[in-house]
């Protein structure tokens, strides 16, 4: 159920007259509630949203509420959450923030790098950073409070984003290509393959044998990496505008497009060699990063904060809310019901995500007589029942 709403009509049976049954054969009156007025809304016990404008009753709306923030001291561009820590790629290098107490995130580790960093991924005891014109930077994070560089490897282009899968790191090398680096020995990375892209490789995600690349004006590019030493272009999803980032969930790739009339865009990748654009929704800002968690997509919309979308139907995404920070949001990561935003002014911002909970029947109990009222105490439900009988002679 996409919006997690109760829609349509709820039917209430209404007895007219005194508390006695009407004569046999009398008509039972019905009232169809369309929720356009609050005439029969029990304000003392109705905790759901009774929306007379939309004509529907809904569960609590989607909301994002700030828990805490940490000034990392350098504008963060990307963030990964691992083991209770947020690892942020910043203008001056790596910043490690303890987020075990989300209300009080604390900067605990710093590792300055030779160049600005734009992307990060974490695997095991190492953080792998896309170091702009410095290429790949490998940092030992065995002790998150004392991170240290163990290796660097230059790339021909401008390393902007990175994804690690198995023994390989895949780098979006901006104007040049997708680069593949063997990191079997993290302290001795080796470049093993590359694949040219038709435009700037802005970001990427790796799923199975494919790398999905956000390729600026060339849309979504799909690269076969089944042989990491020989990556080859397998498919292309063209679209107008400039694609900035990509996330994959199931058979769909979700991308951000920062051109007017675009924003969140969705491709069907059930056949990775033929991605098909199937849906999208414009955002008001300048889209940057994206994260997908279950039925929800979160888009970093730069000066317009982070927008959240219900993507339970990927062909028809629905905007559900947004959260604005004090600056410009470059990226967002989602973990454990929280969103971690990289903000130009506030550093790392931690936000609690309050998702609507859909109603689901999990059990029932049949009473012998009509159930009229109920109260719950502890592990028991006490139900008031009654059988309607007439006191008039001649009626049963």
What pLDDT, on the 0 to 100 scale, is given for residue 231?
Answer: 98
- Taking CA atoms, 30 is separated from 14, 24, 292, 310, 335, in Å, by 6, 17, 44, 35, 47
Question: Each residue of 114-155: pLDDT tens digit?
Answer: 999 999 999 999 999 999 888 999 999 999 999 999 999 999
Cβ–Cβ < 8 Å for 72, 90: yes
* Tens-digit pLDDT profile for residues 211-246: 999 999 999 999 999 999 999 999 999 999 999 999
Q: Give the least confident one: 50-59, 156-165, 363-372.
A: 50-59
Residues 339 and 292: their CA atoms lie apart, in Å, by 11
For residues 273 and 22, give the distance between their C-alpha atoms in angstroms, rounded to a whole number: 69
Percent of the chain with pLDDT over 90: 70
Q: In what order do the strands lie in the sheet with 210-214?
A: 203-207, 210-214, 220-224, 232-237
pLDDT at 20 over 90: no
Helix then strand then coil, % of the chain, to nearest 5: 0, 50, 50
Mean pLDDT score, 6-23:
38
pLDDT tens digit sequence for 240-289? 999 999 999 999 999 999 999 999 999 999 999 999 999 999 999 999 99
Rounded Cα distance between 95 and 74, Å, is 8
b/e string for 342-372 if b means 16 or more Cβ within 10 A?
bbbebbbbbbebebbeeeeeeeeeeeeeeee
CA 27 – CA 45 distance, rounded (Å):
30
Q: Are 219 and 239 in contact (CB under 8 A)?
A: yes
pLDDT attached to residue 382: 87
| Calpha distance 155→103 (Å, rounded) | 39
Under 8 Å between Cβ of 239 and 257: yes
Domains and CATH numbers, the chain: 5-61+358-386 (no CATH), 63-354 (2.130.10.10)
Q: Which of 136, 139, 146 is nearest to 181 (CA)?
A: 136
Q: Using CA atoms, how far apart are residues 77 and 66, in angstroms rounded to an integer?
A: 19
- The pTM of the full predicted model, rounded to 2 decimals, is 0.79
Residue 43, pLDDT above cutoff 50: yes
pLDDT at 296: 94
Q: What is the pLDDT of residue 5?
A: 31
Gap between the Cα atoms of 185 and 268, Å rounded: 36
């Amino acid at each position: 159920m996409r919006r997690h709403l109760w829609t349509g009509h709820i039917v209430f049976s209404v007895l007219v007259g005194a508390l006695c049954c009407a004569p046999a054969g009398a008509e039972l009156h019905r009232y169809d509630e369309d929720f356009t007025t609050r005439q029969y809304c029990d304000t003392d016990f109705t905790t759901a949203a009774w929306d007379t404008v939309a004509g529907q009753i809904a569960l609590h709306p989607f909301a994002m509420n700030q828990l805490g923030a940490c000034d990392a001291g350098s504008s963060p561009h990307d963030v990964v959450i691992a083991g209770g820590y947020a690892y942020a790629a910043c203008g001056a290098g790596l910043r490690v923030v303890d987020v075990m107490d989300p209300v009080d995130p604390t900067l605990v580790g710093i590792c300055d790098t030779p160049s600005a960093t734009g992307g990060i991924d974490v695997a095991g005891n190492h953080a792998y950073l896309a170091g702009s014109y410095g290429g790949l930077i490998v940092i030992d994070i065995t002790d998150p409070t004392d991170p240290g560089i163990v290796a660097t490897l230059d790339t021909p282009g401008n390393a902007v984003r990175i994804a690690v899968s198995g023994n390989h790191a895949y780098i979006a090398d901006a104007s040049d290509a997708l680069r593949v680096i063997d990191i079997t020995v993290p302290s001795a990375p080796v470049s093993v393959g590359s694949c040219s892209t038709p435009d700037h490789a802005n970001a990427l995600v790796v799923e199975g044998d494919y790398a999905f690349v956000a390729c600026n004006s060339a849309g979504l590019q799909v690269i076969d990496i089944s042989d990491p030493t020989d990556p080859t272009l397998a498919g292309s999803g063209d679209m107008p505008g400039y694609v900035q980032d990509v996330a994959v969930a199931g058979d769909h790739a979700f991308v951000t497009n920062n051109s007017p009339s675009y924003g969140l865009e969705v491709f069907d990748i059930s056949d990775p060699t033929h991605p098909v654009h199937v849906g999208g929704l414009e955002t008001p800002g300048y889209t940057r990063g994206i994260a997908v968690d279950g039925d929800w997509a979160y888009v970093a919309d730069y000066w317009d904060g982070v927008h959240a979308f219900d993507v339970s139907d990927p062909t028809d995404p629905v905007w559900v809310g947004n959260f604005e920070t004090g600056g410009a949001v470059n990226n967002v990561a989602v973990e454990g019901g929280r969103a971690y935003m990289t903000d130009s002014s506030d550093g790392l911002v931690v936000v609690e995500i309050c998702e609507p909970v859909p109603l689901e029947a999990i059990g029932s109990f049949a009473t012998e007589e009509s159930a009229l009222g109920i109260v719950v105490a502890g592990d028991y439900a006490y139900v008031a029942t009654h059988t309607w009988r007439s006191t008039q002679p001649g009626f049963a």
